[in-house]
Structures are given as structure tokens and as C-alpha cells.
């Protein structure tokens, strides 16, 4: 019986899970160090296999220039760095693929056969980051069944054990650099199948543990300056570095202790500073309040009150701070649950993988053996355990814990998507076709006319943004001082993510109708244009500057197929 796997590809730690014979999620242990987690760090040792995990992370003290960490922050982003080791250039996608590969290799060494997976990503990830995450999976030789939002996975893991009836669940996810809240509706249909539906999402992708770290740093500097009778502005750079190095640990310490002392040595002097949780909390109360403001807005948008919510589930490392639990508890008394904060996402991903697999199996049976083409990457040579005939597919469903068997998890778009359409000779606006909150897979179309007689080709620029108002769906560019069009409002997160060209036959008259179809899955966007005069069409899967082109991807897959990873130096 084939197995499927769920992978939480985290900024600092990653986790791989599968389902046991009863359909319950279980973690595949990292045998390199016996832990449930794999540190998301890669050490490119001179002349050996890349080393992934805690050992790699610790190597930072000895050879910092050969250790790469935190690549998730840059995956699919325009400011992604590259790294060069032994004449091979790596980027966040290929480094992520090594982390995925390490998990696959240590699982396979224990008798697993990791091929078909679901990988999770933050809910705020846009199209490019999702496509890049999927590419990392492909390069690692995995068949990525789906990309699922982290809070959705956490909710799935929680619901599968706890509920037999309808519930509303809020997932409050405060990580290292981001804050996400998601409101779910969990229901059970007449046949006993679970349905998890996202009602509303919100948050801030620039608010997280590092903001608490920054306040802790100020707090420690202030104490140090006071003890030495100097002004905070006069702290030596070396002292600042020493304090910085202790900041995160001090924050974590105060999650369990009411107070703790630290010693900072500088220039032969030792300064003892005492920190208290009470002081730290009063210095960071406004940050907690910011998160709670998002919670209020979320409830307001959903037309709900705290009473309507049955469970407030805390996820993410920063929810270990007692002040977070207290703040959420104050609004949702007796409804706060903290469970498996490190493992919940991977376990939920394993459930999502099984649900997705079973859906594919049913499609293969229904289509009499035709595998349903991946809408995003139709012709990839994928290594999968999925059966290729209806006969083989019979009985190939994976056992999932009762309530999730035949269950569905709906996911929603986190970006609105639309083509740019010209409003006069030179200026264009984005005409959103798909919207934030549309259920995935989503599809929409519009018909546009060609602009001039004898137009040789059309070029459809494709944009993502976070406009939600369907009545006001156009995004107008503003004009900068040079007279250039700029989509400058960062709050709208407008980003061009690709384009599609199609040649037009000679003598095409102005106003010739072109149908444009946008089809989006959790992983990516497919755009099709059809000339309705002659039926010709062009089609593209959006890959952008910040993901790899089909050729680059092919090349990376071939090259990385031979790279082995190691858990030891
Ligand atoms: P995540 O992205 O969910 O792994 O969360 C990482 C963040 O959680 C980092 O900012 C950590 O400093 C923070 N974190 C982890 N453990 C604790 C703790 N015990 N107390 C406070 N913050 C923590």
C-alpha cells in the first residue's frame, strides 16, 4: 500500500509526516539526531555531499560562509540571493530542494518510499512563492500533490481528532516574522465526512517573533547602559553585538521564567543585568494588541462575535509567550488550545496529502485510467506512486482517520488575479478576474477586443494584488514624477507575475474578440487566450522572474538527481 507524506518546509525547522495504518498522522523521525525536526540549514562542505540539519546549523560557528539558512524568507521573491559553492550556483529554490531531499532520504532509509507529497506554505504566500515551493519539491524528485496553507494544515490536524460535529475554529499563528489568522468552518455532512472551509483570513506578514526580539534588544541595552551609568547611545558596537547574540534566548527564557539574569562581558568588565517577564511584557504589550486588532477585524469581516468561535488554536513558535495565550484567552475564555506547536502543520499536511491522493484515485477510476493532468505542470516527468490504470487504482485509496475519509478541505485564493487592459492608447488598468477568497480551483474569463487594425500580436500582462471589492475591481496605475505608470500602493501588493503573447493573423480588425481564461490552483495560474474569430489559442503557465523557467527547472532536476545529502559531516 502506497503512502503519502506531508511536509512542513519551515524557515528554521522542517518536519515530515505520514499516516499510520489507522489513518492517523505520525511523524517520520529524523534518525540523524533522533528528533522529530530537521533544522532547515545546509552546510556546503568542501568536496562532500551537502549536509542538512542540526549539524549544518552548528557548523555556522566554524565556517559561517558555507552554511545557508532561512531561505524560505526569499523563496520566489525578487530579492532572492544566490550562493556559490564549488562552482555550483544555488538559489533559495535549490537550497530548499536539498532540505526536502534530506527528509526524503532519511525517511527512505527507514523503509519509506517518499514520492507523493503535500508541502505547506504560509497563507500569505503569493503565486510566485507557491510556484517556487513546488519547484523545490520537483527538483527533490517529489510529486507535489498540492501546496496547502499552514493554518489549514494545523486546523486539519486538530479537527481530525477532536470533532464529530460542526465547529468554528480560529487559528492564531504567530511565527518568527509573520502573523496569520484564519477562521475555519468545520462541518460534517450526512455521510459523516468532514468539510473544512476557510471563512476569512487576515494578518500581517511583517509582524512576528523578531519584533519581540527587537524590543528585547532595546530592553537589554537600556539595562546595560543603566548599570554602567552611561547613555544608551554610547554603547560600543562590540557590546551591541554581544547583547544581540543573547536577545532571542532571553526572550525564550522569559516564556518559562518570571525573571533571569544575564552577564555581558566587555573589555575585561562583567555587567550583570536582570530582566523580568513583567517588564518585557509591558514593553511589548502594543505588539500583542496589534495582533488582537487583526483578530477583531477578522471577526467583524466575517460578521461574527467571539462567542461564535468554538476553538482558538495557537500555532507558531511565538505563541509560547504566555502573554499571547493570555491575550487570546481574554477574548476567547476557555477556548484556547495549544497543541503540537511544532508538529501540527506537518501532521495536517499528511492528512491533506491522503485526502488529495484519494481524490486523484477516484478521478483515475472515473476517467478509466486517464490520470488527470496536473493543471499547472501538465507534462512533467514525475516520479509517483499514483496508479496509471483504473484497475490498479481500485482499492488504492489510503486509509484516513474516519471522519476525514472522503473529507474535503477547501482552500481559497490569497491574491486577486487579472490581466492589464488598455483604457486608451497608452494607459492600462488591471481588470481582476479572480479574487482573494475565491475557492480553489478557481476559473474566470472575459472577452476583450484587439486595440487597433492590423495588430500583429497581443500581449497579456498578468498581475496579482489583494483588491477584494468585486464592484471596484479595477486597479488603476498612478503616474510617477517621470510620467511612468507605477503601481505604487504597497498595501495592494500589486505585482506583475508574467505575460502571455499570441500572434494575430494579418488584417485582424480592431475589436476582434479575444477570450481570456484564468485558471488557478493553490500552486499556480494558467492563462489561456483564444482568438474567437479563428479559434486559435495560446496558453501559458505563469512562471516568473522569481521562479525557474521550464528549461532551468529541467536542468536543475537533472543535476540535482545525482546529489545526495547527508546528516553528518
Ligand atoms: P516558527 O516560525 O513558528 O518556527 O516560530 C519561530 C519564532 O518563535 C521565533 O521568533 C522564535 O524566537 C519564537 N519562539 C520559539 N520558542 C519560543 C519561546 N519559548 N518563547 C518565545 N518565543 C519563541
Which residues is 52 bridged to in the sheet? Answer: 42
Task: State the pLDDT at residue 211.
Answer: 95
Contact 489, 502 (CB under 8 A): no
72 flagged as catalytic: yes
Contact 355, 404 (CB under 8 A): yes
Cis peptide before 441 (omega within 30 of 0): yes
Query: Would you state the cell numbers that stand for residue 413, as one nine-digit string?
Result: 485564493
Alpha-carbon distance of 520 to 175, in angstroms, equals 27
Contact 428, 416 (CB under 8 A): no
State which H helix or E strand residue 461 sits in.
strand 457-465
424 flagged as catalytic: no
Ligand 1, atom 7: nearest CA belongs to which residue?
176
> What is the residue whose three cell numbers read 511584557?
281
| Tens of pLDDT, residue by residue, the chain (569 residues) | 789 999 999 988 999 999 999 899 999 999 999 999 999 999 999 988 999 999 999 998 899 999 999 999 899 988 889 999 999 999 999 999 999 999 999 999 999 999 999 999 988 788 788 889 999 999 999 999 999 989 889 988 988 777 667 889 999 999 888 898 999 988 877 777 777 888 888 888 789 998 999 999 999 999 999 999 999 999 999 999 999 989 999 999 999 999 999 999 998 999 999 999 999 999 999 999 999 999 999 999 899 999 999 999 999 889 999 999 999 999 999 999 987 888 999 999 999 999 889 888 888 888 875 655 554 444 556 788 988 888 888 888 888 776 666 666 777 787 899 998 877 777 778 899 999 888 878 999 999 999 999 999 998 988 888 888 888 777 776 545 555 556 546 677 787 888 889 999 999 999 999 999 999 876 678 899 999 999 999 887 776 667 887 788 888 988 899 899 999 98
150 flagged as catalytic: yes
493 flagged as catalytic: no
- The CA 544 to ligand 1 mean position distance, Å, reads 32
At 472 the three-state DSSP class reads: coil
- The CA 5 to ligand 1 mean position distance, Å, reads 25
CA angle 381, 87, 90 (to 5 degrees): 50
Ligand 1, atom 6: nearest CA belongs to which residue?
176
At 509 the three-state DSSP class reads: coil
Query: Would you state the cell numbers that stand for residue 214, as one nine-digit string?
Result: 527587537
- The CA 95 to ligand 1 mean position distance, Å, reads 23
CA-CA-CA-CA torsion sign (279, 283, 288, 289)? positive
Task: State the pLDDT at residue 364.
Answer: 86
Cβ of residue 151 lying under 6 Å from some atom of ligand 1: no
Whose CA is closest to 501, among 419, 416, 431?
Answer: 419
Catalytic residue among 3, 57, 69, 72: 72
Alpha-carbon distance of 414 to 437, in angstroms, equals 6
Count of other CB atoms within 10 angstroms of residue 45: 18
Cβ of residue 248 lying under 6 Å from some atom of ligand 1: yes
DSSP states of 269-295: EEEEEEEEHHHHHHHHHHHHHHHHHHH
Contact 324, 346 (CB under 8 A): no
Task: State the pLDDT at residue 376.
Answer: 40
pTM here is: 0.82
Alpha-carbon distance of 340 to 7, in angstroms, equals 15
Ligand 1, atom 18: nearest CA belongs to which residue?
252
Ligand 1, atom 15: nearest CA belongs to which residue?
317
Task: State the pLDDT at residue 403.
Answer: 61
- The CA 129 to ligand 1 mean position distance, Å, reads 22
Count of other CB atoms within 10 angstroms of residue 381: 7
Count of other CB atoms within 10 angstroms of residue 257: 11
Cβ of residue 115 lying under 6 Å from some atom of ligand 1: no
Pocket test for ligand 1, best of 317, 326, 346 (most atoms within 8 A of CB): 317
Environment class of residue 106 by beta-carbon count within 10 Å: exposed (0-12), middle (13-18) or buried (19+)? buried
Helices (H), 481-564: 550-561
- The CA 317 to ligand 1 mean position distance, Å, reads 3
Environment class of residue 196 by beta-carbon count within 10 Å: exposed (0-12), middle (13-18) or buried (19+)? buried
Task: State the pLDDT at residue 477.
Answer: 62
Alpha-carbon distance of 282 to 285, in angstroms, equals 5
Q: Counting atoms of ligand 1 from 1, which one is nearest the CA of 173?
A: 3
CA distances, 559 to each of 59, 76, 155 (Å): 26, 20, 37
Q: How does 406-445 read in b/e, with b if 16+ C-beta sit within 10 Å?
A: bbebebbbbbbbbbbbeeeeeebbbbbbbbbbbebebebe
Q: Counting atoms of ligand 1 from 1, which one is nearest the CA of 316?
A: 3
Task: State the pLDDT at residue 531.
Answer: 95
Phi first, then psi: give them for residue 328, nearest 5 degrees: -70, -40
Which residues is 277 bridged to in the sheet? Answer: none
Helices (H), 367-474: 390-393
Whose CA is closest to 557, among 137, 165, 251?
Answer: 137
Cβ of residue 120 lying under 6 Å from some atom of ligand 1: no
Whose CA is closest to 71, among 61, 86, 56?
Answer: 56
Task: State the pLDDT at residue 369.
Answer: 58
Which residues is 421 bridged to in the sheet? Answer: 429
Alpha-carbon distance of 302 to 319, in angstroms, equals 24
Count of other CB atoms within 10 angstroms of residue 272: 11
Ligand 1, atom 21: nearest CA belongs to which residue?
252
DSSP states of 148-188: EEHHHHHHHHHHHHH-SS-EEEEEEEE-SS-EEEEEEEEEE
Alpha-carbon distance of 327 to 338, in angstroms, equals 14
Amino acid at each position: 500500500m502506497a503512502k503519502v507524506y506531508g511536509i512542513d518546509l519551515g524557515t528554521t525547522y522542517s518536519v515530515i509526516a505520514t499516516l499510520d495504518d489507522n489513518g492517523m498522522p505520525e511523524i517520520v523521525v529524523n534518525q540523524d539526531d533522533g528528533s522529530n525536526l530537521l533544522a532547515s540549514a545546509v552546510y556546503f562542505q568542501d568536496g562532500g555531499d551537502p549536509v542538512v540539519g542540526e549539524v549544518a546549523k552548528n557548523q555556522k560557528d566554524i565556517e559561517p560562509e558555507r552554511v545557508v539558512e532561512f531561505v524560505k524568507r526569499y523563496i520566489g521573491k525578487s530579492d532572492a540571493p544566490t550562493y556559490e559553492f564549488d562552482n555550483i550556483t544555488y538559489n533559495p529554490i535549490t537550497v530548499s530542494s536539498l532540505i526536502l531531499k534530506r527528509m526524503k532520504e532519511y525517511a527512505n532509509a527507514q523503509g519509506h518510499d517518499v514520492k507523493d507529497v503535500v508541502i505547506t506554505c504560509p497563507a500569505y504566500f503569493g503565486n510566485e512563492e507557491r510556484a517556487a515551493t513546488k519547484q523545490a519539491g520537483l527538483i527533490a524528485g517529489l510529486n507535489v500533490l498540492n501546496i496547502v496553507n499552514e493554518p489549514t494544515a494545523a486546523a486539519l490536524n486538530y479537527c481530525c481528532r477532536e470533532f464529530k460535529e460542526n465547529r468554528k475554529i480560529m487559528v492564531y499563528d504567530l511565527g518568527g516574522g509573520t502573523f496569520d489568522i484564519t477562521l475555519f468552518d468545520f462541518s460534517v455532512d450526512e455521510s459523516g465526512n468532514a468539510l473544512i472551509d476557510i471563512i476569512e483570513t487576515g494578518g500581517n506578514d511583517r509582524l512576528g517573533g523578531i519584533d519581540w526580539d527587537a524590543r528585547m534588544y532595546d530592553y537589554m541595552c537600556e539595562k546595560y547602559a543603566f548599570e554602567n551609568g552611561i547613555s544608551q547611545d554610547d554603547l560600543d558596537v562590540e557590546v551591541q553585538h554581544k547583547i544581540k547574540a543573547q536577545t532571542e534566548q532571553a526572550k525564550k527564557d522569559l516564556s518559562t521564567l518570571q525573571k533571569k539574569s544575564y552577564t555581558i562581558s566587555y573589555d575585561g568588565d562583567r555587567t550583570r543585568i536582570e530582566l523580568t517577564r513583567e517588564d518585557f511584557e509591558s514593553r511589548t504589550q502594543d505588539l500583542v494588541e496589534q495582533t488582537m486588532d487583526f483578530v477583531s477585524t477578522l471577526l467583524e469581516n466575517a460578521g461574527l462575535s467571539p462567542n461564535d468561535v468554538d476553538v482558538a488554536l495557537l500555532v507558531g513558535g511565538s505563541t509560547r509567550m504566555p502573554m499571547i495565550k493570555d491575550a487570546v484567552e481574554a477574548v476567547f475564555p476557555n477556548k484556547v488550545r495549544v497543541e503540537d506547536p511544532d508538529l501540527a502543520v506537518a501532521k495536517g499536511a499528511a492528512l491533506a496529502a491522503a485526502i488529495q491522493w484519494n481524490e486523484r484515485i477516484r478521478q483515475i477510476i472515473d476517467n478509466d485510467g486517464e490520470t488527470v493532468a496536473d493543471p499547472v505542470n501538465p507534462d512533467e516527468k514525475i516520479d509517483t506512486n499514483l496508479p496509471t490504470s483504473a484497475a490498479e487504482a481500485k482499492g488504492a485509496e489510503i486509509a484516513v482517520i474516519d471522519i476525514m475519509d472522503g473529507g474535503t478541505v477547501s482552500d481559497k485564493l490569497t491574491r486577486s488575479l487579472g490581466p492589464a487592459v488598455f483604457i486608451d492608447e497608452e494607459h492600462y488598468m488591471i481588470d481582476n478576474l479572480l479574487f482573494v477568497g475565491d475557492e480553489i480551483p478557481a476559473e474566470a474569463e472575459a472577452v476583450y477586443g484587439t486595440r487597433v487594425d492590423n495588430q500583429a500580436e497581443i500581449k497579456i500582462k498578468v498581475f496579482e494584488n489583494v483588491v477584494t471589492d468585486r464592484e471596484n475591481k479595477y486597479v488603476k496605475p498612478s503616474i510617477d514624477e517621470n510620467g511612468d505608470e507605477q503601481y505604487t500602493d504597497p498595501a495592494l501588493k500589486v505585482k506583475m507575475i508574467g505575460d502571455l503573447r499570441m500572434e494575430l493573423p494579418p488584417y485582424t480588425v480592431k475589436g476582434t474578440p479575444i477570450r481570456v481564461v484564468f485558471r488557478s490552483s493553490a500552486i499556480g495560474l494558467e492563462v489561456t487566450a483564444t482568438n474567437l474569430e479563428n479559434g486559435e489559442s495560446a496558453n501559458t503557465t505563469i512562471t516568473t522572474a522569481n521562479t525557474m523557467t521550464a528549461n532551468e527547472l529541467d536542468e536543475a532536476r537533472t543535476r540535482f538527481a545525482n546529489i545526495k545529502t547527508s546528516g553528518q559531516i
